[in-house]
Amino acid sequence: MQLPRYDLGDEVATRDAFGTALAALGTARGDVVALDGEVGDSTRTEEFAKEHPDRFFECYIAEQQLVATAVGMAARGWLPYASTFAAFLSRAHDFVRMAAISGSGLNLVGSHAGVAIGQDGPSQMGLEDLALFRSVYGSTVLYPCDANQTARLVATMAGLEGIRYLRTSRGKTPVVYGPDEEFPVGGSKTLRCGEDDRLTVVAAGATVPEALAAADRLAADGIRVRVIDLYSVKPVDAETLHRAAEETGCLLTVEDHHPEGGIGDAVAEAFGDGRPVPRLVRLAVRTMPGSAAPDEQLHAAGIDATGIAAAARMLVEEAVVR
């Protein structure tokens, strides 16, 4: 299989990388089928449809039927990848739950996640999907931040069991990983690290570039912070989180998702084994978003580089009583 390769610094949407990688996977494996809910031009499954039209299935605006068809194909020995907007997969939650009970193996991909989609507004924003899929028995939840990471995880999903969910983003993001980087399920990537780190920022997907930008701003002010890309939301990399907690004392999670059931909860649960719990602070989408440009949406939610840097400064400053 020849996955797409992207150069460092390129600006590529993870949904674009998903479509190209899925088409490549379909070329390498004749058992791969793709299904979509009439948004293939947006999810980018149209790339698979162009190259493998006999293995692409249009399910139209019927998300329950989308998942049900994928379950049936898996039972017949095919390897299904079913895609639609992350927000619309909530309509098929019961079918996903029953698929897990049945021991079905299928790959689900939700695009247009979070407020970062911008002007489309809250009806199109997937802000509950991480909670939905983390709660499914035996599920795997992946949230890549760049194109090379996305391509690798699309291929990795083919070898997993149970319900696998991949969250992709609408807008372009910078490529921060080389094409030969490995991303094992249950792992993470530490993108900034030093002996004098004063706290750790834990991000994933669309908030990773914002966390890196915030870290650069803070470093210019003499405040060093660690940055972890938690691309595997379930299972989570507890070992790396424990080490970061021991070495920096505070974890600041930032996610383009509601605070309930997302990255913040995944990090908190990593400390449910009885060991001392570090200081945990969460940045998430806590208000009802409207329709605005992506950068305006991230800023309004307090999860852009400015919001992350401001929260970090508050956490490392000593309180002064006057």
Active site residues: 63
* Beta carbons of 302 and 292 less than 8 angstroms apart: no
**Whole-angstrom Cα distance, residue 191 to residue 232?**
15
DSSP-assigned letter for residue 141: E
Could you tell me the maximum CA-CA distance found in the chain, to the nearest angstrom? Answer: 73
* Beta carbons of 181 and 155 less than 8 angstroms apart: no
Burial 67-83 (b: 16+ CB within 10 A, else e): bbbbbebbeeeebbbbb
Tokens of 254: 């930032």
Single-letter code of the amino acid located at 79: L
Burial of 18: CB neighbours in 10 Å, binned 0-12, 13-18, 19+: buried
**Whole-angstrom Cα distance, residue 33 to residue 86?**
19
